[in-house]
Amino acid sequence: MVNAISTYNLERMARFYGIRIWLCRRTGRRWAFLEGAGTEKVMSSELIFENAEFGVFVQGEDYDKAGLAAEVAQLMQPIGVC
Amino acid sequence: MHMVNDKLSTSAWVNNVIKPEEFEKYLVEGKDFIDDEKIWQQINESTEPSAERVREILAKSLSVKTLDPTELATLMQVRDPQLWQEMYEMAAKVKHKIYDNRIITFAPIYCGNFCVNNCLYCGFRADNDKEKRAKLSLAQVRDEAEAIAGKIGHKRVIAVYGEHPETDADFIAASIKEIYSVKVKTRKGHSEIRRVNINAAPMSVADLRKLHEVGIGTYQVFQETYHHDTYKKLHPANTIKGNYPWRLYVHHRAYEAGIDDVAIGCLFGLYDWRFEVMGLLYHAIELETRFGVGPHTISFPRINPASGSPLPTDPTYNKYLVSDEDFKKLVTLIRLAVPYTGMIITARERQEVRDDVMFCGCTQTDASTNIGIGGYAKNTGKQEIDEQQFMLGDTRSLEELIRDLAKRGVITSFCTAGYRCGRTGDQIMDLLKKGQEKHFCKLNAILTYREWLDDFAGEETKKLGEAVIRKEIEEVQKKTPTIFSKKLYDLTMQYYERIKNGERDLYI
C-alpha cells in the first residue's frame, strides 16, 4: 500500500514553497486529478514524483526543487501492506 | 442448444444490470431532479424580454456563470432577430473567452452494434432484423485505432458500444487498453491515440471503476429525452433503457467510481427542443451542485433516419423535429446557459449547418467519420444504412475540415495535455471558469497542429496551416510577458522546434 499526501500537507507545501502542487492517480496511460493546493498559473507543470499509483505535479519558479522533491518522496513512502 | 443457452445468459445478464440502490439514494422524496411541470411553467411564464434584460443575462454568461433556468427560459422568448444576432455573437465570444480560437477534433469508433434495448428511433434496436450485427475483436479494434491514428491523424477517439453482454464493461476496458497501445510510424514522427472517450450504456459503480482503472477519458451518456412521458413511450418498459433514473444518475455513479470527466447530451427531435435545453441545464446544475464539477461536454445530436426504426417518420413525433433555424438557436442557448462546458457538433449535421453552427460556441467536432463497425480499416468510402446507427450528413475528411477551418482563421487542435498532467475534473473546471484554460489551449493547439501538419497534411493544407500557426504565434508573442511568461514562451518555442524535428507528444 502507498501513502498519499494529505490535503493539509499539500496546502502547507504550496504555502512554504510558493507553488501550485497537486496529487494525481495513474489510470492507464493518463493522470487523474485527486487533490491540489496553491494558485494555478499559466505555466508549465513538472512531475516531481511518481510511483505505481500516484504522481505529484508542481507549477512554480525559483523554488527549492530538491527540498520539495525530498519532502514529497518522504511523504509518499510505502507504509506497508495491510 | 447453444442458441438457447446464449439467450438465457443474455436474459440473466439483462436482469442483473440495474442496481436500484445506486440511484435511489440520489432521489429527493422519491423524485429525480427533472420536474416536467416546473420546466413547462418556467418556459410558459417567461415573457418576451427587453433588450436590456437580454444583455444583462448575456453579461452573466460572459462572466462564465451558469444561468438560472428562469434566465434561460427568458432568452428562449426573444423574438427580435437583431437580438438573436447579438446572442449568436455572444455565444462565439463566450467560447473564445474560455477555449480560445481552436476546435478539437476526434473520430468515433463503433465497436459493436449488438443491443438488448428497443429504442424506437435507433437502428441498433434489438427487434431490428435488417441491421447486420457485428462486434469487433480486440485485433479489429486495434486495426481501427491504427487506421485512425496512422492514416488520418486523430489523437482522440470516442469508442461507442451497444448495450449487450458481448460488449460489457470487461470488453470495453480491454478495448480501451488496446486503443491506447497503438503507436504508428508517420511521415516525420509517430502517431497514437492519447485520449479514449467512451459512449456506452449506463452501468454500475463497480463496472465504471473498471473503465476508470484503464484510463477512460470522458464517459458520455445521453439521456436522449428528459421528458418523462416521452422517455417512457420511446424506451419499452421491459428493457434496461426503459428505466429513466438508472440512466439519469449514471454520471453520479461515474463520479463515485472516480471518473473525472462526464458528458451529457440529448437527442433533439424526440420532444420539444425548449424543454430538452432546460433539461440539459438542470442536469448541469445537478452535477455542479452535487460534485462541484459540471459536464465536461454537452452534445446535441438531431435525430436522423435509421434503418428499421419507426422514428422520425412517425407523425406522433415528427412535430418535434428541429429546423435548422431552431437548431442554431438551441446550440447558442446551451453555450450561453452553461458557459464553461465543451460543446460537440458532429458529422450527423450537413456541412452547411455545421459550418454555421460551429461558430455559435462549439468546441469539438469529428471528421473523416465512419460509423460502420470496422469502417476505418475497411475504408470502402460508402455509408451502409443497414450497418450503421444513422446516416451522416457531412462526410468531409479531417484534412478537408482542417483546410476549411484554416480558411476561416481557426486552428485545429489535437491537444490532450490535461490528461498528461492531471488537469482534469474539478481542477480543469476551475481553470475553465476563471478563463485560464484557454491560454493552455492556445499553446497546445500550436504544438499539436504542428505535429499534424508535418505528419499528414498535403501541400495546400500545409500552406494554409502555416499561416494559421504564424498568426497564433504572433498572438502569443503579443501576450508575452503579460499573460505568458518569457520562460513559458521560450519553452513553447523550444518544444515547437523539437516537434519539427520529429519528437511527439510535447505539451504545456
pLDDT(A1) > 50: no
Q: What is the average per-residue pLDDT within B462-475? A: 98
State CA B415 to chain mean position distance.
15
The answer to whether B440 contacts A42, with C-beta atoms less than 8 Å apart, is yes
Q: Report the pLDDT value the prediction gives residue A77, as an integer from 0 to 100.
A: 82
Sheet of A54-59: strand order equals A30-37, A20-27, A54-59, A46-50
Is the confidence at residue B30, as pLDDT, over 60? yes
| pLDDT at residue A28, rounded to an integer | 84
> Nearest chain A Cα to B442, which residue?
A42
Q: How confident is the model at residue B231 (pLDDT cuts 50, 70, 90)?
A: very high
More reliable by pLDDT, B381 or B258: B258
On whether ipTM exceeds 0.95, the answer is no
- Chain centroid offset of residue B102 CA: 16
Can you say how many angstroms the Cα of residue B364 is from the centroid of all Cα atoms in its chain? 7
d(CA B508, CA B57): 34
Residues 6+ apart with CB under 8 A from B442: B100, B101, B102, B472, B475, B476
Do the chains contact at A32 and B424, CB–CB below 8 Å?
yes
Q: What is the DSSP string of B366-411?
A: E-S---STTHHHH------GGGSSS--S----HHHHHHHHHHTTPE
Residue B318 has pLDDT above 90, yes or no: no
Looking at residue B312, what is its pLDDT? 61
pLDDT digits (tens, 9 = 90+) for B89-147: 999 999 999 999 999 999 999 999 999 999 998 888 999 988 889 999 999 999 999 99
pLDDT at residue B64 tops 60? yes
Overall average pLDDT of the B383-398 stretch: 83
- Which of A33, A34, A55 lies at the smallest CB-CB distance from B423? A33
Reduced to 3 states (helix: H, G, I; strand: E, B; else coil), residue B469 is helix
B471 band by pLDDT with thresholds 50, 70 and 90:
very high
**In chain B, helix, strand, coil percent, each to 5?**
50, 10, 40
Pairing of strands B102-112, B364-366: parallel
pLDDT at res. B383: 77
With H, G, I as helix, E, B as strand and everything else as coil, classify residue B111: strand
Q: What is the mean pLDDT of chain B?
A: 94
Query: Average pLDDT, stretch B299-307?
Result: 84
Mean pLDDT computed over B183-203: 97
- Quick one: which of B98, B447, B123 has its CA closest to B297? B98
Q: By 3-state DSSP, what share of chain A in percent is helix, strand and coil, each rounded to 5?
A: 25, 35, 40
Paired residues of B411 in beta bridges = B102
- Closest CA of chain B from A71, distance in Å: 20
**In the predicted structure, residue A74 carries a pLDDT above the cut 80:** yes
Instruction: Please tell me which residue, B378 or B458, carries the higher pLDDT value.
Output: B458
Confidence of residue B2 (pLDDT cuts 50, 70, 90): very low
Q: Look at A33 and B215 and tell me if their CB atoms are within 8 Å.
A: no
| B319 or B172: which leads in pLDDT | B172
Average pLDDT over every residue of A33-44: 91
**Chain A: residue whose CA lies nearest to B479:** A42
Locate B299 and state its grid cell.
452534445
Looking at beta carbons, which residues of chain B come within 8 Å of A43?
485, 487-488
Cβ <8 Å between B176 and A28: yes
Distance CA B94, CA B291 (A): 24
Question: Residue A82 pLDDT more than 80?
Answer: no
At B48, the amino acid letter reads E
Phi-psi group of B502: left, alpha or beta (phi > 0 → left; psi -120 to 50 → alpha; rest → beta): left
Residue B490 confidence class, pLDDT cut points 50, 70, 90: very high
Range B484-500 average pLDDT:
96
pLDDT (0 to 100) of residue B299: 98
Chain A residues with CB under 8 Å of B439 CB are 42
Name the pTM for this structure: 0.94
- Which chain A residues are within 8 Å of B254, Cβ to Cβ? none
Measured torsion, CA atoms of residues B452, B453, B454, B456, in degrees rounded to the nearest 10: 70
Instruction: Tell me if A27 and B214 make a contact (CB, 8 A cut-off).
Output: yes
Q: Sort out which chain A residues have CB atoms less than 8 A from B214's CB and list them.
A: 27-28
The average pLDDT across B339-343 equals 97
What is the model's pLDDT at position B1? 40
With an 8 Å Cβ cutoff, are A31 and B177 in contact? no
CB nearest to B215's CB, from A22, A29, A57? A29
Query: What would the mean pLDDT of B194-222 be, rounded to a whole number?
Result: 97
A64 HSE (CA, 13 A, CB side): 10
